[in-house]
């Protein structure tokens, strides 16, 4: 998924050879690159068009991914367009769950509470 200009000449030649040999790989690669551009440049308004193209693909895994995105279309579109993120909260939740799992059956609630409230 590296941008074309960041590929070495040998890698670019190998990619061209594979793309010429198999049109299915070419189409899948194009879909993957366009989805990457949607995510990197936060172009949620283009998601519907990408899903339509992906649902026409011959590869079942790509069609499955597209139908998964369509099931929660509004949330995915919001994630690709809005600047809000729950990443910090999710990180704290993950840390608390990790501490809880590592201490299960070994320590008291008081010690767990102290470890959770202590900054990492």
Q: What is the DSSP string of 14-80?
A: HHHHHHHH-HHHHHHHHHHHHHHHHHHTT-GGGHHHHHHHHHT-S-HHHHHHHHHHHHTHHHHHHHH
Residues 62 and 104 in one domain: no
Residues 74 and 98 in one domain: no
Residues 68 and 110 in one domain: no
The CB density around residue 62, as the number of other CB atoms within 10 Å, is 20
Provide the total of helices (H) and of strands (E) in the chain, helices listed first.
Answer: 7, 0
Q: Residue 90 corresponds to which tokens in the numbers above? A: 């999710």
Query: Does the pTM of the predicted model rise above 0.85?
Result: no
The 10s digit of each residue's pLDDT in 87-117 is 889 999 999 999 999 888 888 888 988 988 9
CB neighbour list of residue 22: distance below 8 Å, 6 or more residues apart: none
Residues 53 and 99 in one domain: no
Residues 60 and 107 in one domain: no
Average pLDDT score, the chain:
89
What is the pLDDT at residue 65?
Answer: 94
Query: CA 54 to CA 36: how far, in whole Å?
Result: 13
Number of domains observed in the structure of the chain: 2
- Domain of residue 98 covers 87-117
Residues 110 and 77 in one domain: no
Residues 57 and 22 in one domain: yes
Residues 68 and 100 in one domain: no
Residues 68 and 98 in one domain: no
Residue 1 has pLDDT above 80, yes or no: no
Residue 83 — very low, low, confident or very high, per pLDDT cuts 50/70/90?
confident
Query: CA 77 to CA 74: how far, in whole Å?
Result: 5
CB neighbour list of residue 78: distance below 8 Å, 6 or more residues apart: 44
């Amino acid at each position: 998924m590296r941008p074309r200009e960041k590929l070495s000449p040998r890698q670019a030649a190998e990619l061209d050879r594979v793309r010429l040999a198999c049109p299915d790989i070419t189409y899948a690669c194009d879909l993957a690159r366009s989805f990457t551009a949607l995510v990197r440049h936060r172009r949620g308004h283009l998601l519907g068009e990408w899903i339509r193209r992906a649902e026409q693909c011959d590869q079942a895994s790509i069609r499955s991914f597209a139908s998964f995105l369509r099931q929660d279309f509004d949330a995915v579109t919001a994630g690709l367009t809005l600047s809000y993120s729950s990443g910090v909260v999710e990180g704290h939740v993950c840390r608390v769950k990790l501490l809880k799992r590592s201490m299960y059956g070994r320590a008291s609630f008081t010690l767990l509470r102290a470890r959770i409230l202590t900054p990492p």
